[in-house]
Amino acid sequence: MPAGFHCLIAAQFASALADNALLIVMIALLDERGHPAWWAPLLKLVFTLAYVLLAPLVGPLADSGPKARLMAWMNALKMLGLGMILAGIHPLLGFAVVGVAAAAYAPAKYGLITELVGPTQLVRANAWIEVSVVLAALAGTVLGGGLVSETWRAGALATRGMDLLAGAGLPPTRLALSLLLLWAVYLLAGLLNLGVPASGARYPGGRLQLGSDFWRAQCTLWRDADGGLSLAVTTLFWGVGATLQFAVLRWAIDVLGLSLSQGAYLQAVVAVGVVLGAAVAGRLVGIGAARRMLPLGVLLGGCIALAALSTGLGMAICMLALVGLVGGLLVVPLNALLQHRGHQLLTAGRSIAVQGFNENLSVLLMLSGYAAMLAWRVPIVPLMVGFGLGIGALVGWLWWRSRR
């Protein structure tokens, strides 16, 4: 890996760690301020919505200058969002600011990888980044859980943080120290970004072209044989992953009789499987073999359906680990292929913005469909079975179409 690559991974890990921990802390803050429980999903909505609405802007923005510098500025914007929350501004508004920063951070991060690393190392580089993303999600959830625990909030340090806010004339909260610690993690991420060297890549046209330029980029990538195929699979994968995150929790409670915290451990099993699959793909699969991984998408759908039919904890753990393993093996090579083709056809930032728009739109649509099914009282087992079989059929059709 080139100089500065591991510093980029460390910066991305720290920033994503704080993002995931902050979501847990925000849920606790809403509860502390007396907001109803249905406000909690709105946090995910305002965060993800920024990726979709700002997609035409963030790609050209990432290409307009050194990407590591932009990432450092976006961590500063996240710190501003936390400052707004500490100042008593509504948590949803402050978290939306963090979402805006994260939306601009993503194309800069992935675009910089394609500029620093050649095609032969792109799958391996993507394995590094996906492993760091999943590990940050795991560690962030654990960190967030600790920062909202009753033991922590009742401790002397948390009380001191609340007193500091009150002394500054700000609304006191027992989560003040938790927010300040996450503020420091964002600061660390920004400092790490300063250690990432500029790639030297420059793109013609310094002005930000929006609207028609973004949709031309969409058409260019979707119409390309390799680009369109890999974009379809990764878009499907991330929508599946976000929906499965909630479905596994509901399934663990309804079918296995587990508590919410125990169900979260099953989510961790899937994440560990993704890490292992990504690591194996990074070592053994080249970018030229990405298309040959499509049959794993059919297997992934079947594994989801079989996992839903599991009635014992041991079998459930094995099947969910297999779901994660197959998913990691599938998405890392195809993600690398998508970045490679996007960099060739468009620019690094614009191609990642197109990818982010489609993947996050998929997340919003699939989560909305899942919520509608629950509202119609569809039992979780047939819902997951149908979900898995539908995913397998869609990837099977893409595989058949690509072979033709």
* d(C-alpha 208, C-alpha 62), whole Å: 10
Quick one: 158 and 252 in the same domain? no
Shared-domain flag, residues 218 and 178: no
- Residue 381 maps to a domain: yes
Residue 106 forms part of a structural domain: yes
- Identify whether 170 is part of a domain: yes
Alpha carbon separation from 367 to 65, 116, 208, 222 (Å, rounded): 35, 35, 32, 23
Q: How many CA atoms lie within 13 A of 136 on its CB side?
A: 22
Write the pLDDT tens digit of every residue in 65-101.
778 888 899 999 999 999 898 888 888 899 999 999 9
Provide the residue range defining the domain that includes 367.
214-404
Kindly state the tokens that stand for 369.
């469909």
Has residue 402 been placed in a domain? yes
> Do residues 238 and 335 make contact, with C-beta atoms less than 8 angstroms apart?
no
218 and 171 within one domain: no
How many domains are there within the chain? Answer: 2
Q: Are residues 246 and 173 in the same domain?
A: no
Say yes or no: 312 and 237 in one domain: yes
* Residue 344: exposure state from Cβ atoms within 10 A (0-12, 13-18, ≥19): middle
From first to last of its 404 residues, what are the pLDDT tens digits of the chain? 666 777 888 888 999 999 988 988 888 888 787 777 557 667 877 888 888 888 788 777 777 777 888 889 999 999 999 989 888 888 889 999 999 999 888 878 877 777 777 667 777 777 777 788 878 888 887 788 788 777 776 666 666 666 666 666 666 677 788 888 999 999 999 999 888 776 655 655 544 445 567 788 888 999 998 889 999 999 998 888 878 877 887 888 888 887 755 676 787 788 888 888 888 888 888 778 888 899 999 999 999 999 999 888 889 899 999 999 999 899 888 888 887 888 788 776 677 778 888 988 888 888 778 878 877 888 889 999 998 999 999 999 999 988 87
Q: Give residue-wise pLDDT tens across range 356-393.
A: 889 888 888 887 788 788 778 888 899 999 989 999 99
SS3 state of residue 371: helix
User: Same domain for 361 and 402?
Assistant: yes
Q: Which two tokens stand for residue 1?
A: 């890996």
CB of 208 closer than 8 Å to CB of 347 = no
Which one, of 214, 200, 203, 208, lies nearest residue 68 by Cα? Answer: 200
- Examine the domain organization and report whether 49 and 14 are in the same domain: yes
Whether residue 201 is contained in a domain is answered as no
* Domain end marker among 192, 227, 257: 192
Contact criterion met (CB below 8 Å) for 123 and 333: yes
CA distance 241 to 134: 11
Place of tokens 């420091």: 184
